[in-house]
Amino acid sequence: MSMVKTIEVLFETLFSKPMTVKFPYEAIEIPEDYRGEHELDIDKCVSCGLCAEICPNRAVEMVELPEEYKEKYPKTYPRLDLRKCCFCGLCQDICPRKCLKLTKNVFLATPDPSAVIKNPMPKGPQ
Amino acid sequence: MTKQMNEKELITIEHIEQIIPGDTDYNFYFGPAHSGSGNFGVKLRIDGEKVTSARADPGYLHRGFEKLMEYRIPMQNAVLSDRVCVLEALNWNLVHAEAVDELTGVEIPQRARYIRVLMAEMSRLQSHLIWYGVMSLALGFDTGFKMAFGYRDYILDIFELITGGRVYPAGYICPGGVRRDLPDGSEDKIKRVLDQTEEMMQKMKDFDNIVFSRRTKGVGTLRTEDAIRLGATGPVLRACGVETDVRKDDPYEIYDELDFDIPVREEGDAYARCLIRGREMEESIKIIKQVLDRIPQGNIREPAKITPPSRVKIPEGEVYVRNELARGEGCAYMRSVGGGEPYRVKLRGPDFLHMIPVLEHLLKGSQIADIPAIYWSLNICPADMDR
Amino acid sequence: MAESLHKESKVIEDISAKFKIAGKVQRERRVWVTIDKDELIALCNFAKGLGFEHLSAISVTDWPEEGTFELTYHLWSYSERILLTIKTKLDRANPAVGSVVPIWKENAQIHERELHELFGVEFEGNEDLTPLFLEDWDGPPPFRKDFDWKEYVRQQYYDQANERERAYYD
Ligand code: SF4
Ligand code: SF4
């Protein structure tokens, strides 16, 4: 009896859609609120340092920017070390200006060790 | 080698005994870095096929959480509490959050209470699915393993949607409530996943007789008085005929308002433990459905904003909270002297007792071939034992 | 409220009738009593007789300023549905206490073994106190408050050349 059932299930499975998808051609959609790579909107940051204070892994450090940015951004800003980060999102939750956010980018593996240090400088040419 | 063997002669037991005279007694190491055991080892003494003594050898996964928690504020500890047991992160979040809430005495918003129970039960479901997977694997039934993990992923999709992470919710259930509200449309998605889980449970039932009962009936039988003496809790104890469930006996959150049953069986063997877990999944689904029907609107955390670490204070006091995890009783003792960090945290995981006294007791006198069945019927996870 | 805590007060009454100690009911199903170390075993025996057959956990809290260790035994009764916590204090210089293995058997054995390793408490009468988690550990019991683990880790594992580790040590 149970054998018949098993064979039945086997046949069903044979002709049904697989549970997996063909990555990278298809992917399961990542929800908006996913805790992935960080994104800092430096113009909104007020340098309160709360993100560095709450981080359980001390992955956030408040640093001064290099000379060429000093004029525009004179205070200290969070620099992130993604290798230390556990992606808990506490820094995002505590940020009073909501300028530090976790995005849904999960493709963080890299052969370049310096790529995991996220400097606070705004992207693109100055 | 005492006797020269004729090439044409068949090798018999006598020959082997001549080569190793009378020596059928040997040491056997199960684990600690073994795919069938988790990060945990058991030193066995075997005579022929029979286990004559067993000694658990924990410590491979010891991370010292109790000590680490003395140096972190509750919000950071909530993140840490995920890691106590990988497979039951949300349940441990709840244990930790409850201990802190009882110390601070904040009133948790009703909506948060419902979300907490919802997530804890979903976590129980996925934990039982993992158990079904590894149990099938241990019994040589690969299809069951793949299916269980596949269906578990649907639940993980829900976790991803709600908490932002698949396995680690990062302290989603945090002191004061929960960290995020349910996103729009998540109720429907949860209902869909429940249907899928029910589908899986139907398949579990269909496969039942072929593999499970033959390998587990009468194996690893635990008597009621032994179970209590050895400190077994949760499904292991319920499979020995003790009707007890922390959710009913010592209700926390909103469990006393919900309607669910405690499955109990008398046999005490591995098969009974399997059946109990299957029934428990049904009860969990029942609970989730009730929660979804009744969940009120409102805010989700008290206070709504995270307090900066320098201003956190836990009032002085000591509490002991008990929760029902998928594996048994999970407890936390927390002592505070009024600082930002707790003064002492003691975590008591169900597997601390299931993996050492209970396992040693059950393995003694069993056959080698039954070790995986016994081992996984206890549904053990070294993470919350070693802490 | 007083009505509903009837069960809990009954446990305290029973205990104080025999041991001349006061207890407190923290909330529903939570009872705490404190006892002198010499009477601990007698009280544990008595509690087991009252139906507290499940030893949920044993914990130690270290109070270096006071010079004491505080032991807490958390007991659960399946019939009464009450959690009884028995607290007792030990001298930190001589942390020895009678073992509760004769009462709760293997369950107690394993808890005591853990605490012996992590806090260095001696449980007299427990025959097997071999280390449980730590391997080749020769330092002081690591969970004591006066064990400076930061200093220990700095000496053992700090890789000065690695810039990234600075945040943890300075
Ligand atoms: S996500 Fe968590 S670990 Fe990562 S930087 Fe933010 S607070 Fe630190
Ligand atoms: S918490 Fe937000 S505003 Fe404050 S320093 Fe960090 S990023 Fe800037």
In chain C, domain spans:
3-130, 138-170
Alpha carbon of B307 to ligand 2 centroid (Å): 14
Q: Which two tokens stand for residue C25?
A: 């009911």
Q: What is the DSSP letter of A55?
A: -
Q: Residues B322-350: what's their mean pLDDT? A: 87
In a domain, B256, yes or no: yes
Here the tokens at position B308 are: 């900066």
Lowest mean pLDDT, pick from A54-58, B24-28, B253-257, B319-323: B24-28
Nearest-angstrom CA–CA distance, C149 and B67: 10
- In this structure, which amino acid lies at residue B288? I
In percent, how much of chain A has pLDDT > 70?
A: 95
**Residue B150 resides in a domain:** yes
- In chain C, the residue whose alpha carbon lies closest to the alpha carbon of A84 is C164
Among A62-66, B40-44, B133-137, C19-23, the minimum mean pLDDT is found in: C19-23
Tell me the mean pLDDT in the region C119-145.
81
Kindly determine whether residue B229 and residue C105, on different chains, have CB atoms separated by under 8 Å.
yes
Residue C20 and residue C40 in contact, taking contact as beta carbons nearer than 8 Å? no
What pLDDT, on a 0 to 100 scale, did the predictor assign at position B7?
A: 52
A125 pLDDT band, cuts 50/70/90, is very low
Cis peptide before B303 (omega within 30 of 0): yes
The mean pLDDT value of chain C amounts to 81
Structure tokens at B322: 């008990």
For residue B130, tell me if it sits in a domain: yes
DSSP letters of C7-31?
Answer: HHHHHHHHHHHHH---EEEEETTEE
What is the pLDDT, as a whole number, of residue C162? 79
Q: Compare all CA atoms of chain A with the CA of B82 and give the residue at the minimum distance.
A: A88
Conformational region of residue B203, where left means phi above 0, alpha means psi within -120 to 50, and beta covers everything else: alpha
Cα atoms in the Cβ-side hemisphere of radius 13 Å centred on B345: 31
Q: Among A81-85, A101-105, B17-21, C52-56, whose mean pLDDT is lowest?
A: B17-21
pLDDT at position B16, please?
58
H-assigned helices in B105-222: 110-138, 142-163, 186-207, 214-216
The distance of B207 to chain A (nearest Cα, Å) reads 7
**pLDDT for the residue B302:** 80
Q: Check pLDDT > 50 for residue B3.
A: no
Rg (CA), chain C: 20
- Residue A123 confidence (pLDDT) above 50: yes
A45: which 2 tokens? 């940051």
Angstrom distances, CA of residue B276 to CA of B238, B267, C24, C163? 8, 11, 37, 53
Give the pLDDT score at A2.
Answer: 63
Q: Give dist(CA C88, CA C35) in Å, integer.
A: 5
Q: Which residues make Cβ contacts (< 8 Å) with residue A112, sequence separation at least 6?
A: none
Whether residue A100 has its Cβ less than 6 Å from ligand 2: yes
Count of beta carbons in the 10 Å neighbourhood of residue A25: 6
A11: tokens are: 């046949």
Asked if A83 reaches chain C (Cβ–Cβ under 8 Å), the answer is yes
Domain that holds residue B284: 65-386
Integer angstrom CA distances of residue C70 from B168, B202, B374, C37, C62: 34, 51, 37, 10, 6
Q: How far is A121 from chain B (nearest CA, A)?
A: 25
Pocket of ligand 1 (CB under 6 A): A 54-57, 59-60, 80, 85-91
Q: Which ligand is nearest to the CA of A38?
A: 1
In chain B, the percentage of residues whose pLDDT exceeds 70 is 91
Length of chain C: 170
Give the range among B30-44, B277-291, C60-74 with minimum mean pLDDT.
B30-44
Residue pair B286/C40 in contact (Cβ under 8 Å)? The answer is no
Structure tokens at A68: 């060429």
Other CB atoms within a 10 A radius of the CB of residue C36 amount to 11
pTM for the complete prediction? 0.85
User: For residue B13, what pLDDT is reported?
Assistant: 64
Residue B209, pLDDT score: 61
**Exposure string (b/e) for A72-85, b if CB count within 10 Å is 16 or more?**
ebeebbbbbbeebb
ipTM comes to 0.84
Which chain C residues touch A81 with a CB distance below 8 Å? Answer: 164
Tokens of B376: 């996984």
Class of domain C3-130 (CATH, top level): alpha beta
Residue C103: closest C-alpha in chain B:
B229
* B337 lies in some domain: yes
Tokens found for residue C95: 């942390």
- Cα separation of B232 and C107, whole Å? 9
- Tell me if B353 is assigned to some domain: yes
**Helix locations, chain C, DSSP H:** 6-19, 40-49, 101-119, 149-157, 166-169
B378: CATH: 1.10.645.10
Residue C141 has pLDDT above 70, yes or no: yes
Ligand nearest to the CA of B308: 2
Pocket test for ligand 2, best of A95, A98, A101, A102 (most atoms within 8 A of CB): A95
Model confidence at B253, pLDDT cuts 50, 70, 90, reads confident
The DSSP line for A67-110 is: HHHHTT--SEEEEEETTT-----HHHHH-TT--EEE-S------
**Domains of chain A by start residue, with CATH:** 30-118 (3.30.70.3270)
Give the pLDDT confidence score for residue B12 in this predicted structure: 67
pLDDT band at C1 (very low <50, low <70, confident <90, very high): very low
Question: In the structure encoding, which two tokens stand for residue A48, read together?
Answer: 């309160």
